[in-house]
Amino acid sequence: MEARLLPMGGAALLVEVADTDAALALRAHLASLVERATGVWEAVDHLVAGARTVLVVLRDARGSSDVGRECLAEATGLTVAVAPPEDVAAVMVEIPVRYDGPDLDEVAHLTGLTRDAVVRAHTGTPWRVGFGGFAPGFAYLVDGDERLRVSRRSEPRSRVPAGSVALAGDFSGIYPQDSPGGWQLIGTTDAVIWDVDRDPPALLAPGTSVRFVDAGQTPSGGPVAPATSSVTGTDGTTRPLDGGGGREGGTDEAAPLEGLAGRGGRGLEVLATGPLTLVEDLGRPGLADVGVGRSGAADPTAYLLGLRLVGHLLDPHEPSGPAPASLEATLGGLSVRAHGDLLVALTGAHCPADVDGRPVPHGAPHALVDGAVLTLGAPPAGLRTWLAVRGGIAVAPVLGSRSTDTLARVGPPVPAVGDVLPVGSPPRTFPVVEVAPHRAVPKGEVVLEVVPGPRADWCHLTGVDETSWSVSSRSNRVGIRLEGKPIQRLPTYADHELPSEGMVPGAVQVPPGGEPVVFLADHPVTGGYPVVAVLTPRANALAAQLRPGQQVRLRWSRGG
């Protein structure tokens, strides 16, 4: 097959191929090589299939050139499509749909069909799950009726209800949860698409066949009662799929928080949370196929430094099980009482902090004796402060991680006043650093270094490094919206829609309006707007600390 390499920052690359079938075949082939973990493939962390690309994410930037060359060689030498496993490909899932979407008339207008003809086209041809992305359980469905090809909405909705059935480009999809979205909405379903308590949690796995059924009509044309989705297996039997409750923020265990029994009563009692306090670790890799991103601490550097200060010596590229979790406090305001004698450290945004009224240092281990109260004030600069504790915050993991993903709504319950967060057993290693001074976050304009992204040739980028933007108040852990002078597309791509492709933290995406968005830890797995640049690792750490209203400039990295 024909293929080309595109840059995606220092620790990732895109392999672009002709179409979705080629991308899925290449992803399956590369996955088999990565699973063997020999040679250059040891450096690959995970793969993300897109509509016409495969994103190859590395454990670090070392060896990216070698991996790129091997990926290109494997792609150009691949001539046989890799079929999905038989047990997946043979499954047919039926999804009942009420065709009552607000964009049904618009789709009829765009396609030249009547409303009824749109419904018949959508239900008349089986679809196939190509790849996941955007949100947990969201599946890009391919192989539908060619007449249903429609563009995305010119202006995305800020909220699309869960269960919405939609079209965009060559794809159909179902929104598993309330979320922003720019697809054309043609109907709704009651099928539970994503349920963290179900095994597997995603109803629609890559390779699964999907048939939509008009829930408003019987075969004779009369109305019917609402139906539930069903799946037909390899033995020809059909069973309903009702889901297991769809609890957001559910856990791998019955209790929302692990008890303190067996841990010597060690824990942190939450007295105040400030604007937002989350439990975060290094995240949950390996679930991109079902639309679940890695998430994890917004600034892994600050998070790892805090753990090092309390004696956890981790290799972020070779984690063994869930890493010890810390508390990520946004704009301070966190107050906790120690249950048992603990060792803690503060990193990230410098904030005034005290224990029972006595100031405590930043970037240094500090003993927190039983009953002592640690309180964080608001940082004068920066946004997020990490509280590390020796032993880690030992709440129950969700899908293999103790991180809270705010976009996916996956992770432990958000800490609330009155919770006692258990602390795990201390490691065998001991603290080796007494203090770790690091650069404070600037209060004024921040310069973020970037390298060219895979779609840098889509936009006018001359003078971008001389433009100053303001951080929008709509920014969060998903991404930073920059307000100011729009980035314009080149005439060649003015009316082009980009097929969805894998995303990375630090990706600078340009929506139709032209104001860039910088993705952070909770970014979607895939996206459909051009990525013109990618932040360097140090710039990623700075971006996690930007506050609404702060001025930002992008500067091309000399090393890139």
Rounded to 5 degrees, φ, ψ at 499 are -60, 145
Q: What is the DSSP letter of 348?
A: E
**Which of 49, 83, 117 is the endpoint of a domain?**
83
User: Roughly how many angstroms between the first and final C-alpha of the chain, as a whole number?
Assistant: 29
Query: Is 305 in the same domain as 390?
Result: yes
**Which of 241, 256, 283 is the endpoint of a domain?**
241
pLDDT in tens, 477-492: 999 999 999 999 999 9
CA distance 202 to 117: 30
Q: Please, what are the averages of pLDDT over each run of 10 residues along the chain (560 residues)?
A: 93 94 91 91 92 92 90 86 49 94 97 97 94 88 94 86 94 92 95 90 89 75 43 47 40 40 75 98 88 93 94 70 90 98 96 96 95 97 97 95 92 96 92 79 91 96 93 95 95 88 96 93 92 95 95 86
Query: Is 11 in the same domain as 113?
Result: no
By residue range, what is the domain housing residue 463?
Answer: 446-556
Q: Which tokens hold the place of 408?
A: 């996916």
pLDDT of residue 372: 98
CA distance 73 to 63: 16
Query: Is 231 in the same domain as 332?
Result: no
Q: Is residue 18 part of a domain?
A: yes
**Which of 364, 389, 422 is the endpoint of a domain?**
422
Q: Is residue 225 part of a domain?
A: yes
Count the neighbouring beta carbons within 10 Å of the beta carbon of residue 241: 17
Beta-sheet pairing, 384-389 with 334-339 = unpaired
Query: Is 276 in the same domain as 344?
Result: yes
Number of domains in the chain: 4
Q: Going along 164-217, which residue ranges are E strands? A: 164-168, 171-174, 179-181, 184-188, 209-214
Query: Is 529 in the same domain as 487?
Result: yes
Query: Is 91 in the same domain as 236?
Result: yes
Q: Is residue 131 part of a domain?
A: yes
Q: Is residue 397 part of a domain?
A: yes
Query: Is 277 in the same domain as 391?
Result: yes
Count the neighbouring beta carbons within 10 Å of the beta carbon of residue 232: 16
Query: Is 72 in the same domain as 94?
Result: no
Q: Is residue 94 part of a domain?
A: yes
Q: Which tokens hold the place of 419?
A: 């919770």
pLDDT of residue 340: 97
Q: Is residue 432 part of a domain?
A: no
pLDDT of residue 442: 81
Buried b (16+ CB within 10 A) or exposed e, 450-488: bbbbbbbebbebeebeebebbbbeebbbbbbbbbeebbe
458: domain CATH number is 2.40.100.10
Q: Is residue 256 part of a domain?
A: no
Q: Going along 105-254, which residue ranges are E strands? A: 127-133, 135-142, 157-160, 164-168, 171-174, 179-181, 184-188, 209-214, 229-232, 238-241
Count the neighbouring beta carbons within 10 Å of the beta carbon of residue 178: 14
Query: Is 67 in the same domain as 110?
Result: no
pLDDT of residue 306: 95
Query: Is 328 in the same domain as 356?
Result: yes
Those residues whose C-beta lies under 8 Å from the C-beta of residue 146, and which sit 6 or more positions away, are: none
34: domain CATH number is 3.30.1360.40
Q: Is residue 132 part of a domain?
A: yes
Query: Is 199 in the same domain as 122?
Result: yes
Q: Which residue has the tokens 């609404």?
A: 548
Query: Is 214 in the same domain as 353?
Result: no
- The amino acid at 488: Q
